[in-house]
Structure 1
């Protein structure tokens, strides 16, 4: 079993309802691949002092459990995955679809080792 952990961060504040919808959309897209065996998601829990390191604060943490490396590859070949116009590699939106200010974070290139957590 491989557990893939996805840290989701937003440049601007996002409401709980928008975050819940974003997480739900990701979960549905990933489950539609047929390879997801487990899924969990948690909102960030603020603690005093963390504001001094905003780059390390995730808005939410998502975990997908898949059987093996082939299933992990299938997970990220899911319909709806976008491709970078510059590198051609898959990218993950860091804002809900339809938002006007979004950044994209490129995923690891093919062949990059994946840690089994």
Structure 2
């Protein structure tokens, strides 16, 4: 994505786009639609609560890692340079991360 202005609207678009990629990949992992990922098997519920966890938890860690690699790739190289656009790339990386954090912080376990 390339936006010619550094505006609040562009910041929002970067954040929502990164969050959207993370969410979509997470859901596709859980649904078995991607070969390189699957359910998050780290979440288990205690048998003392009256049941044994057998569900497919969303693999948010994979979704966020994929989004970081995919969405940020264009800006990482540019942010490390001394060119005038490096400040904008740093800002875009920050906004991308903000979007992914919103997705991660709003995940919850529902039974």
Considering the TM-score relative to the shorter chain, is it more than 0.5?
Answer: no
Scaled by the length of structure 2, what TM-score is found?
0.30
Higher strand share: 1
Scaled by the length of structure 1, what TM-score is found?
0.28
Higher helix share: 2
Q: Which one has the largest radius of gyration?
A: 2
